[in-house]
């Protein structure tokens, strides 16, 4: 299938002349005003260049350029201005809206085809280069994600866990935070941000690498002194993140990871650690991970306890047995906990 060129001019003779010039190489589409042109542009993805008259009835060329900017199509499809006018202000406005060249009337046929073909080829190579760059960026991002996952999983193995805990935390955080944002506009986050927070959540306990095995793997209750040492994993996690190379994770994931590491043991009434934050002083992403972490810890066997059943764990969280949580976060948790349990039973 041939690529298409769109010729937009209210003068039929101009359209015929230009169509004749390109008909062998391209499928030539025609419109006699801007309104017709936009209908064609929005319905045909094969258009690789547009030749656009500026002065037309119904809708002029400048209005078309404005709409192409709004839709983003101007960045992927070169637009050539067709004009007999020598109005520098008008042409300057067209260039500022993304037009790439001017085809002056009367036409100089020997130059037009070469100029347009060269720019079409330039756009094609640029798009190919963008695709290659995006593909490489995606590969690097995926590799970095895997490195972060491996680091988090190694911590879990040292904590006598299988590594599944961090995977479950990621899924639970995603589910819970999505519902929080749906229920409470004051906590709204874009989906991209929620994805990054879920990714950051797997590093919540990275600071445990600094905790002695005698405490981390102790089968019984910790003494007050041992618990004080355990509490420093929140701060140590931030120290570890601060030493990670900048290209391991993007800036937002780093910020979320830092907040989550430090604050996932803070509590709504200020009785958590390490900073004693209370209420919404605690970032909402850290609040979500805190509930996700407690729920998964309660319902999983650990060296120091057996797993609680789901109903008992839900009651403990709501009754404040694990510290007080934001009532809004709890409401969202109670709304999705059945889905979380189903996901856990099926796959996580």
- pLDDT confidence of residue 122: 86
| CA pseudo-torsion sign 249, 250, 253, 258 | positive
Per-residue pLDDT reduced to its tens digit, 285-344 = 999 999 999 999 999 888 778 899 999 999 999 999 999 999 999 999 999 999 999 988
Per-residue pLDDT reduced to its tens digit, 176-215 = 999 999 999 999 999 999 999 998 998 899 888 888 888 8
- pLDDT confidence of residue 345: 78
| Torsions phi, psi for 50 (to 5 deg) | -130, 130
Average pLDDT over residues 73-79: 91
- pLDDT confidence of residue 142: 66
Per-residue pLDDT reduced to its tens digit, 1-21 = 688 999 999 999 999 999 998
Is the CB of residue 281 less than 8 Å from the CB of residue 268?
Answer: no
Residues known to be catalytic: 208
- pLDDT confidence of residue 164: 76
Nearest Cα neighbor of 52 from 8, 90, 17, 87 is 8
| CA pseudo-torsion sign 52, 55, 57, 61 | positive
**The pLDDT of residue 160 is above 60:** no
Report how far residue 204's alpha carbon sits from residue 260's, in angstroms, rounded to the nearest whole number: 6
- How much of the chain, in percent, has pLDDT values that exceed 70? 90
CATH 3.40.50.2300 fits 4-107, yes or no: yes
Report how far residue 174's alpha carbon sits from residue 201's, in angstroms, rounded to the nearest whole number: 9
Report how far residue 340's alpha carbon sits from residue 75's, in angstroms, rounded to the nearest whole number: 42
Report how far residue 39's alpha carbon sits from residue 214's, in angstroms, rounded to the nearest whole number: 71
Residue owning tokens 């889905």: 339
Nearest Cα neighbor of 199 from 156, 164, 234, 166 is 166
Domain with CATH 3.40.50.2300 in the chain: 4-107
Using a cut of 0.75, tell me whether the model's pTM lies above it: no
Enter the tokens of residue 39: 């209908």
Could you give the C-alpha distances from 180 to 107, 173, 220, 279, 315, in angstroms and in order?
A: 61, 10, 35, 15, 19
In the structure, what pLDDT confidence band is assigned to residue 108 with cuts at 50, 70 and 90? Answer: confident
Report how far residue 162's alpha carbon sits from residue 164's, in angstroms, rounded to the nearest whole number: 5
Q: Please count the other Cβ atoms lying within 10 Å of the Cβ belonging to residue 274.
A: 15
Domain with CATH 1.10.3210.10 in the chain: 136-346
Report how far residue 307's alpha carbon sits from residue 297's, in angstroms, rounded to the nearest whole number: 8
Per-residue pLDDT reduced to its tens digit, 233-268 = 999 999 988 887 766 667 888 899 999 999 999 999
Ranked by mean pLDDT, the top range of 120-129, 152-161, 188-197, 249-258 is 188-197
CATH 3.40.630.10 fits 136-346, yes or no: no
């Amino acid at each position: 299938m041939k690529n298409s060129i769109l010729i937009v001019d209210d003068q039929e003779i101009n359209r015929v002349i230009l169509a004749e010039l390109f008909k062998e190489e391209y499928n030539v589409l025609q419109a006699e005003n801007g309104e017709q042109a936009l209908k064609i542009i929005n319905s045909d993805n094969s258009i690789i260049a547009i030749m656009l008259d500026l002065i037309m009835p119904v809708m002029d060329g400048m209005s078309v350029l404005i709409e192409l900017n709004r839709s983003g199509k101007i960045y992927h499809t070169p637009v050539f201005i067709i004009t007999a006018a020598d109005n520098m202000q008008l042409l300057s406005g067209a260039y500022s809206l993304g037009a790439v060249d001017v085809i002056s009337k009367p036409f100089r046929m020997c130059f037009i085809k070469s100029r347009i073909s060269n720019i079409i080829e330039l756009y094609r190579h640029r798009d190919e280069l963008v695709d290659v760059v995006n593909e490489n960026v995606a590969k690097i991002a995926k590799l970095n994600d895997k490195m972060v996952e491996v680091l988090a999983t190694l911590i879990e193995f040292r904590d006598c866990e299988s590594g599944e805990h961090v995977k479950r935390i990621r899924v639970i955080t995603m589910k819970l935070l999505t519902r929080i944002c749906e229920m409470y506009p004051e906590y709204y986050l874009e989906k991209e941000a929620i994805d990054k927070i879920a990714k950051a959540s797997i590093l919540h306990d990275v600071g445990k690498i600094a905790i002695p095995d005698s405490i981390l793997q102790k089968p019984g209750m910790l003494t007050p002194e041992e618990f004080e040492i355990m509490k420093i994993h929140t701060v140590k996690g931030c120290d570890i993140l601060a030493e990670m190379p900048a290209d391991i994770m993007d800036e937002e994931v780093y910020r979320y990871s830092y907040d989550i590491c430090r604050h996932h043991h803070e509590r709504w009434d200020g009785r958590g650690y390490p900073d004693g934050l209370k209420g919404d002083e605690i970032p909402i992403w850290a609040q979500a991970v805190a509930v996700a972490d407690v729920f998964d810890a309660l319902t999983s066997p650990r060296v120091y306890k057996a797993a609680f059943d789901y109903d008992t764990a839900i009651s403990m969280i709501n009754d404040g047995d694990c510290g007080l949580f934001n009532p809004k976060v709890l409401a969202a948790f109670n709304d999705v906990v059945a889905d979380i349990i189903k996901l856990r039973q099926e796959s996580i």
